[in-house]
Amino acid sequence: MHLTFDGCVNVEASNLVVTAPEESPNTDGIHVTNTQNIRITRSTIGTGDDCISIVSGSQRVMAQDITCGPGHGISIGSLGKDGSEDYVSDVVVDGAKISGTTNGVRIKTWQGGSGFARDVKFLNVEMNNVTNPIIIDQDYCDQDKACKEQNSAVQVQNVLYQNIRGSSASDVAIKFDCSKSHPCLGVVLQDVKLGGDGGGVTAQCDNVNMDQLGDVSPSCPCSADNY
């Protein structure tokens, strides 16, 4: 990790430039943990891991005018590893430009944990050739084969994706892989338009309670009354 804010309150971080080779593992650009009231603005980050990672104990986090790439995108999590109880809330990502990354805006949790990731807004994001532009992964696993199914999970709730545009490097531009035991609640896609190079893209939406507002493409084959 390059820059970590751990146990901080009332932080202003701006005009940062963080770089690492794309092939370098575990090189998060900015890591936020157990921190409240932090603003990260007008910064450029390119790494071999998350451009920004926001993990347990973090509240009222604002990331604005961020340029991200290469790397793994802007991530909340991972949360819930080894059965831990983790909490993240009141996160706003506004005005990001994400290019050539494996993920765009991501929430990732392990099975078997508890707690919540809630009240999250991803606003005005431009994607360019991003493999997973929008992703919630509640089956996050660090091994080649699937991790064992668990009955508990971190609750993902009240997540807004608004005015997100650009291109996906994969066929699945939107992926909500939510927990069977604790489905994602209150997810909203509003004015989202993602395409692919030379072909259409799809949305995969499992175990999610959601609304789709305005022009949404690709759209999820589900609606708010699924759960």
Active-site positions?
Answer: 72
Phi first, then psi, for residue 101 (nearest 5°) are: -100, 165
Per DSSP bridges, beta strands 132-137 and 103-109 are parallel
First to last CA, the chain: 39
Q: What is the 3-state secondary structure of the chain?
A: CCEEEECCEEEEEECCEEECCCCCCCCCCEEEECCEEEEEEEEEEECCCCCEEECCCEEEEEEEEEEECCCCCEEEEEECHHHCEEEEEEEEEECCEEECCCEEEEEEECECCEEEEEEEEEEEEEEEEECEEEEEECCCCCCCCCCCCCCCECEEEEEEEEEEEEEECCCEEEEEECCCCCCEEEEEEEEEEEEECCCCCEEEEECEEEEEEEEEECCCCCCCCCC
Q: Nearest to residue 123, comparing CAs of 104, 145, 103?
A: 104
